[in-house]
A and B are shown apart, each in its own frame.
Chain A
Amino acid sequence: MIQLFHVTKRWSDDPPVLDDVTLRVEKGEFVWLTGPSGAGKTTLLRLLFCADEPTSGQVIVGGRNVNRLSAGGVPFLRRNIGVVFQDFKLLPNRTALENVGFALEVMGASDAKIRERAHKRLAQVGLADKVGSLPLRMSGGEQQRVAIARALVNEPAILLADEPTGNLDASLTDSILQLLFDANARGATVVVATHDRALLGRYQRRTIQLHHGKVTSDA
């Protein structure tokens, strides 16, 4: 489902953020991407959803080589990838329902279908009573769950999450991670970047460790 061949990413003359990374994630896998801050986790995720281009090497997502993807092809690749951002990236002037429905809106879904599916996803993440709330009136955990609902609303084949539990307490962390495990159980390939080693111990899954942009372990 995801393949990287000798991928290097560097900004001008700085040391590479990713250095000759080669890895493969199979369809339906759940993978932790870990390492200290600055290890290159976020950069690797950004390459997967075409927010950045690799300096060298090949990135293949869902069978498509993103290096060869035209600018017009990027949106269609992204529609198969749900992304949960560290800073949520919710629109402050739109309700939870509108934020979740946003991902369906750009795909041209009808208003009725958007409402139905956004409602369903918000109910799944435990926010059925918050559909009309604006993000700024919601807690960090609620905002994170809205972001996850948005990432899952069009049932993507791949789900990428960048530090999804970064600012949450333990009980919220568990409930958020359960949502990601549920998505994985429904067949989505899930890659979660985290620097929280306690999580890796508690939920043992394949773990790819990055350090200074290199893969130091994959087990």
Chain B
Amino acid sequence: MTHVAWRLVRRALLNLWRAPVPSLLAVVTITLALFLGGALAFTVLGARALLVSWGAQPAVTAYLDRALSEEQARGVADRVRSAEPGAEVVFVSPAQALDRLRVQLGDLGGTLDGLSRNPLPATVEVSPRGAGDLRALAARVSQVAGVADVDYGREWVDRLEALGNALRGFGTGSLALVGLAALLVVANTIRLAVYARRDEIEIMKLVGATDRYVRAPFLLEGALQGLCGAALAAAGLLAVQRLLLPRAAAAFAFASGAQAPHLSAQHCALLAAAGALVGLCGSYLAVARFLRT
């Protein structure tokens, strides 16, 4: 049976070679579909990462009185810690706060060197270990002597969560829509190629070819076209990532404190699998119509 398999592979390659225009059309269609799908997926992933990083910030931040010395400020943090045994309490000195900002600013961190004095106050970050009433926690922390102000952007966190959920739904829906549209377009493009070879299919069937035998080279061609499309889409995404996104990535890192999502080997494998699958399904749908008639 290996000679039959080899013959089918040879036939698929020969067909691609003999009819390059329809094949090229299918490859371009798959490339565009995967590129758009990939770009959309990266946009959604990036936005989600941004939201998660924002949402992961401390729940309650207490800004301490600037008049307090560092020792006094640490004392305030101790008082908060003993008053709130169910919460994680972290003291951040003005110097530590400035260092954090410097890291977040990345290349722009050098601009902080021009400051004559550190403008940041000492803070105490209070994160409840379980689910808790942030409003009540913030109210209690604000009562501790030495605390000048309390910030717990609960509404902001709620909005971020709602936005994250909406983004996930939108991303899933859009990807499904792009995938379906790609499949239909690819199936129709491949159908054109199959249509051009309807006589061959008819004759194959008349001389006793099984449906599986007729279908096999077309499926192989579809898979090959899908893989070529995936390779081109990956190259396109890499080009965009390397040439156009460095500035956006720096802004992303500044905003989220995390790296922007990058195209990895796993992503490339996923694209290749998606391309082959789209090509296979497109070919299957296209040939099925001719096998029925």
Give A residues with C-beta under 8 Å from B: 49, 51, 71-72, 75-76, 78-79, 83, 85, 89-91, 93, 102-103, 105-108, 110-111, 150
With A90-B203, A105-B7, A150-B207 given, can you name 16 additional A-B contacts, CB distance below 8 Å? Answer: A72-B210, A72-B211, A75-B205, A75-B208, A76-B208, A78-B206, A78-B208, A83-B206, A89-B199, A89-B202, A89-B206, A91-B200, A102-B204, A103-B207, A106-B208, A107-B208
A108 to B5, CA, bound (A): 10
**CB < 8 Å neighbour of B18 from A49, A93, A102:** A93
Residue of B3, B202, B210, B213 ringed by the most chain A CB atoms within 10 A = B210
A196 to B204, CA, bound (A): 30
What's the nearest-Cβ distance from chain B to residue A84, in Å?
11
What's the nearest-Cβ distance from chain B to residue A151, in Å?
9
A106 to B205, CA, bound (A): 9
Q: Is the CB of B1 within 8 A of A106?
A: no
Interface residues of B in 115-140 (CB under 8 A from A): none
Q: Is the CB of B210 within 8 A of A75?
A: yes
Q: Is the CB of B213 within 8 A of A106?
A: yes
Interface of A is mostly: loop
Residue of B nearest to A85 (CB): B206
Q: Is the CB of A111 within 8 A of B207?
A: no
- What are 12 A-B pairs at a CB distance below 8 A? A71-B211, A75-B205, A75-B210, A79-B207, A83-B206, A85-B206, A89-B203, A89-B206, A103-B208, A105-B7, A106-B207, A108-B4
Going nearest first, the 9 A-B pairs with the smallest beta carbon separation are A106-B209, A79-B208, A78-B208, A103-B207, A75-B210, A75-B208, A108-B4, A89-B203, A110-B3
What's the nearest-Cβ distance from chain A to residue B199, in Å?
7
Q: Is the CB of B207 within 8 A of A78?
A: yes
What's the nearest-Cβ distance from chain A to residue B293, in Å?
11
Residues of chain B with a CB closer than 8 A to A102's CB: 203-204, 207
A72 to B1, CA, bound (A): 19
A51 to B7, CA, bound (A): 27
What's the nearest-Cβ distance from chain B to residue A92, in Å?
8
Residues of chain B with a CB closer than 8 A to A93's CB: 18
Q: Is the CB of A51 within 8 A of B200?
A: no
Residues of chain B with a CB closer than 8 A to A107's CB: 208
Write the B12-36 contact mask toward A (1 if CB under 8 angstroms, else 0): 0000001000000000000000000
